[in-house]
Amino acid sequence: MTTVLYPGTFNPLHNGHADLVERAAKIFGRVVLGIATSPHKSPGDLTVRIDLAKEALAHVKDVDVIGFNTLTVDFAREIDAEIILKGIRTFTDFEYEFQMLNMNRALKPGLETVFLAPSEEFSYISSTLVRQIAGYGGDVSQFVHPAVSRALADGTI
């Protein structure tokens, strides 16, 4: 069974992320959504992000949601992931992720990276934009799972 790691801070997890998980679950045997701590991003409470992601992805078979506080390659090694999954929306995303791909290869030879573009209806969604809209009291329900929408509205995340 091939394990693919989809790492990120997922602050918050949005429908574009869920779309990639759903599609990856059809391609790979096991998907691990690895929710990272990230001191330079200040993504908020890890436990809350994990719980929300578990709720939002409960309908997807063979998906595990696990938090981590290490290098992505070390976490990949820990869970026996052979592949890292990254979503690419823009050329800027690709430039950054390609640099990370090469760094990860240097740190863990043999670890592959697969890029998936989001479905068209999710291509413009980003966690940053969702947080900004929610921060101004805007309705983000069309971009995120209902549990995430509630957490944003009540200030949990």
HSE value, Cβ hemisphere, 13 Å, CA-based, for 126: 8
pLDDT, average across residues 10-18: 97
pTM of the model: 0.94
CATH code of residue 108: 3.40.50.620
- Pairing type for strands 30-36 and 63-68 reads parallel
Number of domains in the chain: 1
Show which residues are catalytic: 17, 41, 89, 127
Question: What residues make up the domain containing 147?
Answer: 3-153
Is it the case that residue 6 has pLDDT exceeding 90?
yes
pLDDT tens digits along 21-52: 999 999 998 999 999 997 776 667 999 999 99
pLDDT tens digits along 51-108: 999 999 999 999 999 999 999 999 999 999 999 999 999 889 999 999 999 999 999 9
CB 93 within 8 A of CB 122: no
HSE value, Cβ hemisphere, 13 Å, CA-based, for 21: 27
pLDDT at 43: 61
pLDDT at 44: 74
Q: CA–CA separation, 45 vs 2, rounded Å?
A: 30
pLDDT, average across residues 14-27: 97
Neighbours of 126 (CB within 10 A): 16
- List the one residue out of 150, 90, 99 whose CA is nearest residue 125: 90
